[in-house]
A and B are shown apart, each in its own frame.
Chain A
Amino acid sequence: MEYYLVVSAIMMFAGIYGFIVRRNLLGILISIELILNSVDINFMVFNRYLYPDQLEGFFFTLFAIGVSAAETAIAIAICINVYRNLSSIHVKNLDEMKN
């Protein structure tokens, strides 16, 4: 069990690190996917080891994957629009709403 958790923790922190230090919108998006997937792994692992005869964790993971797919689609649409307008997807250029 611990190995699964170590893997998910690495994914989680890699995602957080990427979310904070990435300056590229796509990089940030990938980082978010990493965080979500590490959470999904956690759901499955805990379900598998703590309540082996139940399936809520797996179903929750399926829902989360569905939601994250939708979210990714929207996020990529935003990215494309940002790129069309600004010719760049660097977050430091996204300060139109400020000032």
Chain B
Amino acid sequence: MKEMEFTLYILILPLVSFLLLGLVGYKMKPVVSGLLGSVLLGATTLLSYATAFIYFTAPRVDGAFAKMMPYNMKWLDFGGTLQFNLGILLDPISVMMLVVISTVSLMVHIYSMAYMHGEKGFQRYYAFLGLFTFSMLGLVLATNIFQMYLFWELVGVSSFLLIGFYYTKPEAVAASKKAFIVTRFADLGFLIGILLLSFYTGTFDFDKLCSCDPALFSGAIQASFLGYSVISVALALIFIGGAGKSAMFPLQIWLPDAMEGPTPVSALIHAATMVVAGVFLVARLFPVYEAFAPGVLHGIAYVGAFTSLFAAAIACVQTDIKRVLAFSTISQIGFMMVALGVSGMGSHEGTGYMAGMFHLFTHAMFKALLFLGAGAIIHAVHSNEMSNMGGLRKHLPITHLTFLIACLAISGIPPFSGFFSKDEILAAAFSFSPLMGIAMSGIAGLTAFYMFRLYYKIFWGTPSEHKHTPHEAPAFMTGPLLFLALITCVAGFIPFGEFVSSDGLIYEIHLDSTVAIASVLMACVAIGFATWMYKKGSNTMPDRLATTFSGLHTAASHRFYIDEVYLFITRRIIFDGISTPIAWFDRHIVDGFMNGLSWTANRVAYLIRGFQSGNVQQYAYVFLIGTFLIVVLALSQYINF
């Protein structure tokens, strides 16, 4: 139990980085603060790798890796049964997440030294990166659902701070507010879910919850709410929290706008780590979902599939490269959700769980690579719009190579990592229902198409005019690109099933050859199509298609008007329909009542102030009259008029 004590430093180091840079960073030179942040993060990364190494080489217990809890201290004790703990929980998925987060975060730290060079608020940027890394690591290491909620909110705050990093830019400010409010809104569901779940089970601990002890859950199963058992309702609400962070339909609206933040931030938060928190949450509570609410799990699969399709369709027509990547992120997270949703418990049924986690791992790497590559491109041409790019492959050879590798990985072309994980997801989807399998394969094809549309539009096609010749990014930027590209090339060969599986036992990954061949063929066809349409840059096919399906094209480029629907709901229905009458009621009825009270008291006081003249003779006069009245009353008993 005690041998993993050093894992505490994984949490402390980023926190130190945040506090140090946040409090005294303004006194440092920017380079010093960047180096300091990176060195601390480097140490965290080394510790994470050490943890992973020690954890996964430790002997198995009953065929599974033992859960470890190096720390679990009492934090708040309210007496009775209510107490909150803080601690560190090591199990296969949290160790896997440790590796992912620290790797991507370190890459982003190094990359940002060059990318953010000369920006105002450089130290603040690194402080926030430290805060984010700290909270994200705390989230995955949480021993109980309440601790997870705490860090969940911290992650939301740091995301808000980093999206709004350019706080003088109105779009960035609006985007950060939007992201914060939308996820906050979803977190309300999460909180209610937590309260329901822990009220009926009497525990917050993942350890106890995931044991699925029927005695623990009997109350939650028997109690019913609106015709569903409370456990289903609670788990569905918890998923809503996850859906908010992971940008599932219909809460996906914040993620594309979040691209207003600096590009490395998008790579870290909005591609690789924070947005998969929802997936991680579902995976963390997966045994509970699987045992008590399979219906909710299927719901998650359908939501994931729809989101995936929806986002992929939008990604095909976006022109801002970061937004294409944002929608592709949403789509890929949809894949992970589908994988978890269709999964069951046990070795073969658990394919989806393993595949979802595997895809989370590979996706984090290649999507961070794509974003960092996009950052390098933006750095070179100073624009996000595809129309300002084209023909960049000669100017940016390293970026071009790494971007191509990432595109091939996300499209699912062997031997890159995305192929292996996506293939597992498709296999799991097919074993769930053929329809789901076919749908997901189609979306995978669409993914390949829009990624290569992006690729060709950036690196091929007609070069556009530039003020100065685009130049390759400095080594601080290409280094992380090359490292991530290396991971993307080899990650597929990691025997992932040995480390992470639904029941902890070794799961042998075997590629389903039919599914694999079909999906690769599909991807190749899609890539071919994209090549034909976009490679030359003179092909008129895209325009013709756009005019043929003009309705669909316009709708997709307006993101199917979801933002407008939200605006309509908030402005027209909530603001005009509810808030305005309530405000009127408050001003006129509630305030009016209070004003009326004070007005009445005022008038009454005017009326009676004559009684308090201070004139003793007047008092005596009144007293005399009173006495007469009493005498008359007393006498009237004896005298009959």
Contact = CB atoms under 8 A, between A and B. Distances in A.
B614 A20 contact: no
Contacts of A98: 614
Contacts of A91: 615-617
Interface in B275-313: none
Nearest to A16: B624
A97 B614 CA distance: 9
Contact of B620 (A16, A95, A97): A16
B641 interface: no
Contacts of A19: 617, 620
B4 to A, nearest CB: 81
A19 B617 CA distance: 7
Interface string B224-259: 000000000000000000000000000000000000
Interface in A5-43: 16, 19-22, 28
Interface in A77-99: 91, 95, 97-98
B625 to A, nearest CB: 10
| Residue of A20, A22, A95, A97 ringed by the most chain B CB atoms within 10 A | A20
Contacts of A16: 620, 624
A95 B617 contact: no
B614 A95 contact: yes
B229 to A, nearest CB: 74
Contacts of B617: 19-22, 28, 91
Interface string B537-564: 0000000000000000000000000000
A6 to B, nearest CB: 17
A22 B614 CA distance: 16
A98 B624 CA distance: 24
A71 B624 CA distance: 22
Contacts, number: 17
B621 interface: yes
Contacts of B615: 91
A91 B616 CA distance: 9
17 contacts: A16-B620, A16-B624, A19-B617, A19-B620, A20-B617, A20-B620, A20-B621, A20-B624, A21-B617, A22-B617, A28-B617, A91-B615, A91-B616, A91-B617, A95-B614, A97-B614, A98-B614
Contacts of A20: 617, 620-621, 624
Interface in B566-616: 614-616
Nearest to A95: B614
Contacts of B620: 16, 19-20
Interface residues of B, number: 7
A52 B614 CA distance: 44
Nearest to B624: A16
The interface centre, meaning the residue of B615, B616, B617, B621 with most chain A CB atoms within 10 A of its CB, is: B617
B530 to A, nearest CB: 92
A98 B614 CA distance: 8
Nearest to B616: A91
A91 B618 CA distance: 12
Closest 5 interchain pairs by CB? A20-B621, A20-B617, A98-B614, A19-B620, A20-B620
Interface in B143-196: none
A76 B157 CA distance: 81
A28 B619 CA distance: 14
A51 B148 CA distance: 96
Contacts of B624: 16, 20
B464 to A, nearest CB: 85
A71 to B, nearest CB: 15
Nearest to A22: B617
A22 B617 CA distance: 9
Nearest to B613: A98
Contacts of B616: 91
B33 to A, nearest CB: 68
Contacts of A28: 617
B268 to A, nearest CB: 73
A14 B617 CA distance: 14
A95 B620 CA distance: 17
A30 B621 CA distance: 17
A20 B616 CA distance: 9
Interface in B346-391: none
Interface in B199-243: none
A16 B617 CA distance: 10
B163 to A, nearest CB: 63
Given A16-B620, A28-B617, 4 more contacts: A16-B624, A20-B624, A91-B617, A95-B614
Contacts of A95: 614
A98 B610 CA distance: 13
A16 B620 CA distance: 8
A12 to B, nearest CB: 11
B380 to A, nearest CB: 82
Nearest to A21: B617
Contacts of A21: 617
Nearest to B614: A98
A96 B201 CA distance: 75
B594 to A, nearest CB: 30
A5 to B, nearest CB: 15
**Which one of A19, A21, A22, A97 has the highest number of Cβ atoms from chain B below 10 Å of its Cβ?**
A19
Nearest to B627: A16
Nearest to A23: B617
A98 to B, nearest CB: 5
A28 B620 CA distance: 12
B232 to A, nearest CB: 74
A20 B615 CA distance: 10
A79 B507 CA distance: 111
Interface in B451-467: none
Interface string B518-541: 000000000000000000000000
A89 B617 CA distance: 15
A73 to B, nearest CB: 20
Contacts of A22: 617
A18 B617 CA distance: 10
Nearest to B615: A91
A22 B621 CA distance: 12
A38 to B, nearest CB: 15
A16 B621 CA distance: 9
